[in-house]
Amino acid sequence: MTYPTVELRLPAWVARAAPPDAVYPSPEARMRLAIRLARTNIERQTGGPFGAAIFERATWRLVSVGVNLVESLNCSTAHAEMVAIMVAQRRLGRYTLGAAGGQSYELASSTEPCAMCLGALPWAGLAGLACGARGEDAGAIGFDEGAKPAAWVAALARRGIRVTRDVCRAEATAVLADYRRRGGLIYNGSRT
């Protein structure tokens, strides 16, 4: 007897909605892609109201995307940011997006990362993080964002990750509100 292999596959609509290598020159365009992924994810009922995208900073070329796939993959770690990181590393064939080749990469997330995803950012070798909705906006619809360090923005800065908050926050928060209005599943691990 053996252990199963875990497969993380993006829904088929994702590559059509966000073709790889398209260029997103402005911070708002990049964030609106993450927000659009979050919105389509709830409309297609493929997961929770969260989207993320990773860009190469020199060109603002789209390297990878992620959406929340916790329920559809039965995988509690399949948050949008984690999926985007894993897909990017798989595409680039290396375990860190930092240093090698001199390229640097930025993650746009439709909502500020939870404690797990925050912890994942330095390991991933990211150089920047842009956030739409705030953690408290996710908290307002019932999600528990976990125990983040009080000064998480400064903690990331110390590890070389520059954080920009509140990019298109109202548009991002509207997706969260829509999710609740539709009666979407609010899962919080041990209390579910």
Residues with a known catalytic role? 81
Least separation in angstroms between residue 160's CB and its own copies is 4
96 forms part of the interface with its own copies (CB under 8 A): yes
> Which among 50, 55, 176, 45 has a CA at the least distance from the CA of 114?
50
129 forms part of the interface with its own copies (CB under 8 A): no
Q: Which of 57, 159, 162, 182 binds its own copies (CB under 8 A)?
A: 159
125 forms part of the interface with its own copies (CB under 8 A): yes
SS (H, E, C) 57-125: CCCCEEEEEEECCHHHHCCCCCCHHHHHHHHHHHHHCCCCCCCHHHCCEEEEEEECCCHHHHHHHHHHC
For residue 106, the cross-strand partners are 55, 128
Cβ proximity to its own copies, 111 vs 168, nearer residue: 111
Least separation in angstroms between residue 125's CB and its own copies is 5
User: Site residues (CB under 8 A) for its own copies?
Assistant: 1-10, 14-15, 19-21, 64-65, 70-71, 73-77, 82-83, 85-87, 89-91, 93-96, 98-99, 114-127, 144, 146-150, 152, 155-156, 159-161, 187-192
